[in-house]
Amino acid sequence: MTSKMRSLYLEGYDHTIFDLTMQDRVQIQVHGNSVAGAILHGNSPTEIIETFTESIGRPPELPHWIISGAVVGMQGGTGTVRNTWDILKTYDVPISSFWLQDWVGQRETLVGSQLWWNWEVDTTRYKGWQQLVKDLNNQHIKVMSYCNPCLAPTDEKPNRRRNMFEEAKKLDILVKDKDGEPYMVPNTAFDVGMLDLTHPETAPWFKNILQEMVDDGVRGWMADFGEGLPVDATLYSGEDPIAAHNRYPELWAQINREFVDEWKSSCSGKQKEDPEEALVFFMRAGFRDSPKWAMLFWEGDQMVSWQANDGIKSAVVGLLSSGISGYALNHSDIGGYCAVNLPLIKYHRSEELLFRWMEFSAFTTVFRTHEGNKPSCNSQFYSNHKTLSHFARLAKVYKAWKFYRIQLVKEASEKGLPVCRHLFLHYPEDEYVQTLTYQQFLVGSEILVAPVLDKGKREAKDDSLTCGGQVKAKGEVLKEFFKARSKTLDVAYGEVHPRQARDTNGPGVVSNVVIEDDIDCTSGPKRRRGASSSKLPRQGIEFTDVIESRSGVTVVSEGVKPTEGKIEVGFVDLPFVGNVDNCRRFLSVGSLSLLRNMISLVRLTLANTLWFQVKSFDAASDYNIVMLPSLSAFIGNPRCPVLVVVSKVHLSDRRSSSCAPVMHRICIALKTIAGSEMMLLSADSITKDINLV
């Protein structure tokens, strides 16, 4: 794709070299007898991507469970997982799943601890596997596992039930060498056989392996590799192994996707209807048509470093370039993967690198950790209180914009547009935007993220924001935006794209800005962050800011007409999203206890997301002025199940209100699952009688 809105893609699987180094041309060299492809033209980059993905295919919508919280990637066995789970509970980390790649067991090699590539659970390492999966699922946490299209001989594995390498060898479904023997592909400290995905017996055999895994309750897996077919291999289909090398990852994705679809169609009852029971797999290898088959991608194995060519910066570059190529749903291992621990060369994941990677990953499709190839050399999310606190905080940031992420995942399925976008997609005529690589990116069209990706830095290196086709200094943009109360904006954690930074490609209207001081979990001075607000038009729902407060992420929603009266300290005259603990700042102990009792009465847990409307008035009659518009906005908000309205009423004359007793009047509106009916509970902190309205 060029800045002149011209685009070309090639069909077929021949070895091809694209030379983009010349200023006046793009040279393409195809090692084949013919060339086939298509030339695309559109009015904008997004239009070209839509046309391109209409041809190659688009991913399905992801199950909501995998984009609802952190995917905790870890290893260690049943006891370690349960202990880590308990620790994460104390930090109130929103968890969508545990990804346990060592479910097959580990062995010690010259390289270190490595997995047994024999795709069955190791019942010694994961004793009580099915019970662990069940216990996690009962708390709405899924278990994800790992597999790839290679098999290792397991003659030395003591507790195996099946020797899948020998099974595949007897079925003659392994890739062969020039002598007709199984091609043993070197993989670090051991050799493996690769499944011949062109053989008609391979797919049914491997789908049975996936079925056994899912029967145990697993609901997702990493479908690793697929990029390593030897170019001198012999295949059942007889096709050129060089061209087959490019087709192999598509076939690998197709087998996994067919199993997902077949499993879903074979389900019945609740399992078929419940979206939380849906399966998902993610891959790193791909070719042109992979988005048609794969459900989700990740970017493979970056170094645990700050490098631009293979480190944290390259993870951003890969995220954005893949999005232009139709890979709409992508993410990276938080912290990177490849560590090096040689006498003269050492790459260890530092705590700072881990934090920076967490921060930018909180604004990608999936928020997933990985211990890396050498866990003991790396800082981990569970290393200490500081890392756990930062992990919890960024997991909450990630969770806070789930409502928008759902819209973007749907858009990816329908139009092929990526969740994370290079600014070029919406500002193609901005010459400065064309120079950007990893400095800034958009989440959808609404959120601009400028991550901190340099060692020792406390704010984004780039000091400008795109502004309506122009580039202005960060301070200038915000002075225009904030006018009399302008402030410098630290964009380390991302913010909603301001109106001045939009043109016709970036819909939305700004209505309000909120800035609060927060407490940083890292060392150093406090920073001031803010977020501009905008409407998200795709479903006609009005939302504004995503800001960070002392108690976590606060989402402020517009649509409620402000009324007169003093606003509680620390809050604006708009609703906010949080949990009961957020109320400690504006409710007395007695009133907070009353609120807890009311919530308990309607059988909600204290972790439920509640939508609060906080007001302070001198007159009791003004309570209704608050309640009616709040209910109106609440009914139209599909993501909030509970509305809590709290008003502060002085019981004596207004002239002496400073010393008068105060009553908190509380009303809870609870939606039914269908959202068509509501239950209203009302009480005040004086009588403490809870009434059904």
DSSP H or E stretch at residue 485: none
Question: Catalytic one among 227, 277, 462, 490?
Answer: 227
pLDDT > 90 in the chain, percent: 60
Segment among 22-36, 270-284, 375-389, 547-561 with least mean pLDDT = 547-561
In this predicted model, what pLDDT tens digit does every residue of 637-663 receive, in sequence order? Answer: 555 556 666 666 555 443 444 444 566
pLDDT band per the 50, 70, 90 thresholds, residue 296 = very high
Residue 691 has a pLDDT of: 65
Least confident of 80-89, 350-359, 675-684: 675-684
Q: What is the pLDDT of residue 92?
A: 95
pTM of the model: 0.72
For the chain, which residues make up each domain, given as ranges? 1-41, 58-411
List 61, 102, 196, 224, catalytic entry: 224
**Which structure tokens are listed for 306?**
């700050």
- Kindly report, residue by residue over 165-177, the tens digit of the pLDDT: 999 999 999 999 9
Q: Is the pLDDT of residue 467 over 60?
A: no
Mean of the per-residue pLDDT values of the chain:
78
- To the query of whether residue 618 is one of the catalytic residues in this protein, the response is no
Measured over all CA atoms, what is the biggest interatomic distance in the chain, rounded to whole angstroms?
99
User: What is the dotted CATH code of the domain comprising 58-411?
Assistant: 3.20.20.80
Is 542 a residue whose pLDDT tops 70?
A: no
> pLDDT of 59-87, one tens digit each?
999 999 999 999 999 999 999 999 999 99
Instruction: Indicate the range of 206-210, 331-335, 589-593 predicted with least confidence.
Output: 589-593
CA 473 vs CA 283, 376, 462, 465: distances in Å: 39, 43, 9, 7
Query: What DSSP letter does each residue of 543-612 carry, written as one string?
Result: ---EEEETTEEEEB---SPP-SSBPPTT--SS-EEE-GGGGGGTS-HHHHHHHHHHHHHTT--TTS-EEE
Of the listed ranges 180-194, 349-363, 584-598, the one predicted with least confidence? 584-598
Give per-residue pLDDT as tens, 384-427: 999 999 999 999 999 999 999 999 999 999 999 999 999 999 99
pLDDT value at 555 more than 90: no
pLDDT band at 508 (very low <50, low <70, confident <90, very high): very low
224 in catalytic set: yes
Predicted local confidence at residue 146, as pLDDT: 98
Average pLDDT over residues 32-50: 94
The pLDDT value recorded for residue 269 is 79
User: Is 548 a catalytic site residue?
Assistant: no
Task: Please check whether residue 231 is in contact with residue 245, taking contact to mean a CB–CB distance below 8 angstroms.
Answer: yes
Confidence bin at 504 (pLDDT 50/70/90): very low
Of 442, 433, 501, 395, the closest CA to residue 94 belongs to 395
The confidence band for 667, taking pLDDT boundaries of 50, 70 and 90, is confident
SS3 letters across 679-693: EEEEEECCCCCCEEC
Residue 653's DSSP bridge partners are none
How would residue 626 be classed by pLDDT, with cut points 50, 70 and 90? low
What amino acid occupies position 79?
A: G
Catalytic residue among 301, 310, 352, 480: 301
Nearest to residue 456, comparing CAs of 329, 303, 352?
A: 352
Can you give the length of the chain in residues? 693
